[in-house]
Amino acid sequence: MKFSKLSQLFLVSTTGLLLASLLTSCEISTIDYVFVADSAGSGTGAAGQIETYAADSETGALRVGPAPVPSGGVNPVALAVTSDYQNLYVANAGTGSGGSSVVHFDIAANGVLTMKETASFSTAVSPVSLAVNAAATDLFVAYNGSGANPSQLAVFPIASGAPGSSAGAVTLAVPGHLNDVVVPTGVDVLANGSAVYVIGYDQSAYNPGGTVTSTANPGWIWGYTVGSGGALTPVSGSPWEAGVKPTSVVSDPANRFVYVTDFASNELVGYIVQSTGVLDFMVSGPYKTGSEPQAVTVDPRGLFVYVANSLDSSISAYDITLSTGAPSTAVNATGSSANATDTTPVAVIVDPSLGRFAYTANLQGNSVSGFRLDPVTGTLTPTVSTPYPTGFKPTALASVPHGTHATETISP
């Protein structure tokens, strides 16, 4: 069958219009910006950077967003954003002669980051984790000390996103073993801002491949109430035992529960938060995870818990029993509770816009893995084209909503 030139022209025009129509109907709409902290190079002392990705509202797939920006230091290890999603903070741990610091970035509506203030630390200490209270008045920084400089939790007052000079710090010590070396690994502040919790382990008691000089319990969680100006007061009974090597801590948005991953025991430790900030162990815990859990997060509605297992390269998904806080393994339609990521996930987040997508930063995979979250069951399915390439050794994630739609949150 032959077509005349006129018929061919008509066919080409019609096909073009059809394709244009399809592309328009499938136009990508950004629902969140995802920030990834990683290294700009593979060499020792290579500068850190923050990469920005745009998340598709329909699929959760990530695409490259605005150009990467320097993290302001070496070895970025933690990210935190304010509740109004206008400010980003990055902790640069530093390596060798590279100075450690906490750097403030302004977040534009299009996801562009602009560096603002920098709080530098001495070479004897390194920030390891960050948290910002919901009122955006206090920035909490847990940092690892050495020698005569003990590990501490410091508070920096915030004014219009800018962190000021430290308003004070508390030393992290193990009861009865005050000279032991403490290694902090995470910090979390309750949504209502009334208490902040720091986790860490006693290196004098837990030091695989090294010398052990203490009989203390290895893992701990310290609790502090937060007063005017960020003043910290130890909670009665603090610190509490937290397994062997706690690696990550998170609280639910209703200020009722706290969860801690235990890297050495392959467990999730759960606590119930009392009105005074005191923590009580969940009687049914601890709860089994995958191998070497490195990170934990709770979805914005406070219904599900997700744990990134670094050795398994997987995410464990749990449904929260709201009356007790106990997490129950969420099983996928395939009958499996395993959700494979790229190699060595060390950070995990759920998007703040819809609470429908989860992402992991994969240290050895140099990538981010994406998952679609079932809002009823909490189970996960991989997003389109996952994993998404990043810079060298990504270590931390943060996300902010894009657009004027409502976000999935619970008011504390």
Domains of the chain: 30-401 (2.130.10.10)
- One-letter identity of residue 267: E
Q: pLDDT band for 77, please (50, 70, 90 cuts).
A: very high
pLDDT of residue 43: 80
| Candidate from 24-28, 63-67, 354-358, 378-382 with smallest mean pLDDT | 24-28
pLDDT at 18: 38
pLDDT at 410 over 70: no
Mean per-residue pLDDT for 239-266?
98
Please report the pLDDT score of residue 187 as a whole number. Answer: 98
For the chain, the C-alpha Rg in angstroms (whole number) is 22
pLDDT band at 94 (very low <50, low <70, confident <90, very high): confident
Q: How far is CA 399 from CA 51, 207, 288, 339, 360, in A?
A: 11, 34, 28, 21, 12
239 preceded by a cis bond (ω within 30 of 0): yes
Please count the CA atoms within 13 angstroms of the CA of 82 that sit on its side-chain side.
21
What pLDDT is stored for residue 9 in this prediction?
36
Burial label for 363, CB within 10 Å (0-12, 13-18, 19+), is buried
Name the least confident of 168-182, 279-293, 331-345.
Answer: 331-345
| pLDDT on residue 334 | 82
Residues 361-378, mean pLDDT to the nearest whole number = 97
- Tokens representing residue 241 in the block: 């035992």
Mean predicted confidence (pLDDT) in 295-314 = 98
User: Residue 14 pLDDT > 50, yes or no?
Assistant: no
pLDDT value for 1: 37
Name the phi and psi angles at 44, rounded to 5: -60, 130
Region 152-164: mean pLDDT is 93
* Residue tagged 């706290």 (tokens): 258
Interacting residues of 47 by C-beta distance below 8 A, sequence separation 6+: 39, 40, 41, 70, 71, 73, 74
Specify the pLDDT at position 405. Answer: 52
Read off the pLDDT of residues 197-250 as tens digits, 9 standing for 90 and up. Answer: 999 999 999 999 999 999 999 999 999 999 988 899 999 999 999 999 999 999
Q: Is the dihedral of CA 182, 309, 273, 129 positive or negative?
A: positive
pLDDT score recorded for residue 302: 97
Q: Above 60 in pLDDT, residue 361?
A: yes
pLDDT, averaged across the chain: 90
pLDDT level of residue 6 (50, 70, 90 thresholds): very low
Residue 127 scores a pLDDT above 70: yes
pLDDT interval class at 3 (50, 70, 90): very low
Give residue 12's pLDDT: 36
Confidence at residue 379, expressed as pLDDT on a 0 to 100 scale? 97
pLDDT at 11: 38
Q: What is the pLDDT of residue 184?
A: 97
Residue 293 CA to residue 193 CA, distance in Å, equals 27
Cβ neighbours, 10 Å, residue 233: 14
Handedness of CA 354, 409, 105, 341 (dihedral sign): negative
269 pLDDT above the threshold of 80: yes
| 165 touches 230 (CB < 8 A) | no
pTM over 0.85: yes
